[in-house]
Structure 1
Amino acid sequence: MCISLCINSSACNVEAINTKVYFVQKMITKIVMVVTLIVIYLNVYYSSPPTKCFLPYDRGYCGNNSTRYYYDPEKQKCFPFTYNGFAGNLNRFFTLEDCENFCKI
């Protein structure tokens, strides 16, 4: 959306400009919110092992079963589990090696 500013023009419609400015401000606010959520997600996802690896084991739900691996901080070891395909948490890895490397076993 473009905002055309009228300088020294009698055809300048102040109400139209104010409306466009309002919508641009709303769009900027939404963009800032999305960027903030992305930053929060990346901070959690790529955070240090204590944050991700120490989350409780969670199978999720939905019934789309697949094998994943989680880190058990008490046993200091990664274990396989059946992930149900939806939700759960970030203590979930595709391979045993990924789990061990990320959680630095």
Structure 2
Amino acid sequence: MTKLALLALMLFCVASLSQGKEDICSLPIRVGICRFRISVWGFDPNKGQCVNFLYSGCMGNANRFVDRRACERACLKSSSSNKH
């Protein structure tokens, strides 16, 4: 039984890693519901560019980067490859 649980955990980890950058960059920008106001960057798939927004500190998603450069590095390559 332990081996089966370990195998299931390994499969889950592999599936999570295979999600890729394209999935993160296609997520909607989520501000969250907490009261902090943290300036971060997210990729707006409708605009095709990274935009600055205020993250509340909780209940967001992975489409959140510390600066524009990190956002562009992660998302502009994947979005331009999707267009070709």
**Is this a same-fold pair by TM over 0.5?**
yes
Aligned to 1:55: 27
Change (3 A) 1:96 1:33: same
**Helix, strand or coil: the match of 1:104?**
helix
1:58-98 CA distance string (max 9 Å, x none): 12233344221111122111111122223322211111101
1:2-24 CA distance string (max 9 Å, x none): xxxxxxxxxxxxxxxxxxxxxxx
- Which consecutive unaligned segments of at least 5 residues does structure 1 have? 1-24
Change (3 A) 1:103 1:35: same
CA distance in 1 between partners of 2:67 and 2:59 (Å): 18
Calculate the aligned-residue CA RMSD, in Å: 2.0
CA distance in 1 between partners of 2:61 and 2:31 (Å): 8
Task: Provide the aligned length of Structure 1 versus Structure 2.
Answer: 77
- Which consecutive unaligned segments of at least 5 residues does structure 2 have? 78-84
Q: Given the two structures, how large is their TM-score scaled by the length of structure 2?
A: 0.71
User: Larger RCO: Structure 1 or Structure 2 (Cα < 8 Å, ≥ 6 residues apart)?
Assistant: 2
8 A Cα contact 2:49 2:76, kept in partner = no
The structure with the largest helix share of the pair is 2
What is the aligned-residue identity percentage? 29
